[in-house]
């Protein structure tokens, strides 16, 4: 890290122990830096883990209003949602986008990495949140998330805290996108057809092999096959946003979790 800082001056450091339990502090620190330095010249901020693979051409293409090619290896990503391969990004405000989890129960198992004691979070369910493996945030909500986080009791699970609780309190919408995958990809074409994939081995991150090698041909699908597979697919998290936000706001207020 010292050599990286000396060579590239790209290490941002604050005074806390860098460990799994402090991921929330690290993520809030990131929001602080972005809010103080980047909001005037950038439209979006992408946060991702160090073992996540970001397909930058696909990401930029989608941000600029394009669509992502649908391959056979990525078809399964779409089955859980109402998202269509022809959908485009049509907004640049009030947005957190990634793989959305809903109806997740807090783990009360002390041996679990995601253990959440009831003394810290007494509710029986988490609000919808975006996987911390990687999410896209519109720049207008970064300062809001940061100030909300400072006024909210911290939880050790950074994605639940920032994209769940803080986003709920601040009234920020979380949108699911199937090509932000928190799961290990199966094959090169899964990476070529995705925006972000998690738990990618270091050898798989070789850019020249995975993304820029146009000799790798991925199998596409006929339109009737796509329509047949995706027909009737539904987003299980797609219910009334206002009712959900009001429910959690009242819960947070009563329990002193939020502002």
Tell me: pLDDT of 258 over 60.
no
Rg of the Cα atoms in the chain: 19
- pLDDT digits over 157-182, tens only? 999 999 999 999 999 999 988 889 88
- pLDDT digits over 185-234, tens only? 777 777 888 899 888 776 555 565 666 666 777 777 655 455 544 443 44
DSSP per position, 227-240: HHHHTT---TT-S-
Residue 205's pLDDT is 56
Can you tell me the mean pLDDT for 69-85? 66
Residue 108's pLDDT is 94
The upper half-sphere exposure of residue 152, i.e. CA atoms within 13 Å in the direction of its Cβ, equals 30
Q: What region does 40 belong to: left with phi over 0, alpha with psi -120 to 50, or beta? A: alpha
Backbone angles phi, psi at 46, to 5 degrees: -110, 120
Share of the chain above pLDDT 70, in %: 76
The helix (H) or strand (E) run that includes residue 198 is none
Contact residues for 45 (Cβ-Cβ < 8 A; gap 6+) = 34, 38, 136, 137, 139, 142
Tell me: pLDDT of 152 over 50.
yes
Token pair recorded at residue 84: 């269509």
CA angle 106, 111, 117 (to 5 degrees): 40
Residue 250's pLDDT is 52
Residue 128's pLDDT is 92
- pLDDT digits over 65-76, tens only? 888 877 777 776
Closest among 241, 188, 235, 237 to 210, alpha carbons compared: 188
Task: With cut-offs at 50, 70 and 90, classify the pLDDT of residue 107.
Answer: very high
Residue 221's pLDDT is 62
Residue 210's pLDDT is 63
DSSP per position, 37-96: HTTTT-SEEEEE-TT-EE-HHHHHHHHTT--PPPBGGGHHHHTTSS--TT------SSEE
Q: Which residue has the higher pLDDT, 68 or 132?
A: 132
Residue 98's pLDDT is 94
Give the C-alpha distances (Å, rounded to integers) separating 233 from 13, 199, 227.
44, 26, 10
Task: With cut-offs at 50, 70 and 90, classify the pLDDT of residue 115.
Answer: very high
Full-prediction pTM beyond 0.85?
A: no
Give the C-alpha distances (Å, rounded to integers) separating 235 from 67, 84, 97, 147, 199.
19, 11, 14, 30, 24
Backbone angles phi, psi at 204, to 5 degrees: -75, -15
Closest among 142, 134, 139, 115 to 50, alpha carbons compared: 134
Q: Mean pLDDT over all residues of the chain?
A: 81
Contact 98, 58 (CB under 8 A): no
Give the C-alpha distances (Å, rounded to integers) separating 207 from 53, 54, 204, 211, 249.
10, 10, 8, 6, 44
Task: With cut-offs at 50, 70 and 90, classify the pLDDT of residue 136.
Answer: very high
Between 88-92, 166-170, 234-238, the lowest mean confidence (pLDDT) is in 234-238
Task: With cut-offs at 50, 70 and 90, classify the pLDDT of residue 118.
Answer: very high
Contact 186, 73 (CB under 8 A): yes
């Amino acid at each position: 890290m010292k050599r990286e800082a000396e060579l590239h001056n790209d290490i941002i450091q604050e005074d806390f122990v860098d460990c799994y339990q402090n991921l929330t502090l690290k993520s809030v620190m990131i929001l602080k830096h972005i809010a103080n330095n980047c909001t005037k010249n950038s439209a979006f901020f992408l946060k991702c883990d160090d073992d996540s693979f970001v397909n930058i051409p696909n990401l930029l293409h989608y941000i600029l209003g394009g669509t992502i090619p649908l391959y056979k290896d990525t078809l399964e990503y779409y089955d859980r949602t109402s998202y269509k391969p022809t959908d485009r990004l049509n907004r640049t405000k009030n947005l957190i986008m990634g793989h959305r989890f809903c109806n997740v129960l807090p783990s009360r198992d002390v041996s679990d990495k995601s253990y959440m004691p009831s003394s810290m979070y007494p509710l029986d369910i988490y609000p919808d949140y975006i996987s911390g493996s990687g999410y896209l945030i519109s720049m207008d909500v970064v300062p809001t998330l940061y100030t909300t986080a400072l006024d909210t009791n911290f939880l050790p699970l950074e994605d639940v805290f920032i994209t769940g609780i803080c986003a709920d309190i601040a009234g920020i919408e979380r949108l699911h996108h199937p090509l932000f995958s928190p799961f290990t990809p199966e094959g090169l074409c899964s990476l070529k057809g995705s925006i972000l994939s998690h738990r990618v081995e270091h050898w798989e991150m070789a850019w020249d092999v995975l993304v820029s090698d146009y000799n790798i041909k991925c199998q596409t699908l006929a339109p009737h096959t796509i329509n047949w597979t995706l027909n009737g697919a539904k987003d299980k998290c797609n219910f009334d946003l206002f009712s959900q936000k009001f429910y959690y706001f009242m819960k947070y207020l009563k329990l002193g979790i939020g502002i």
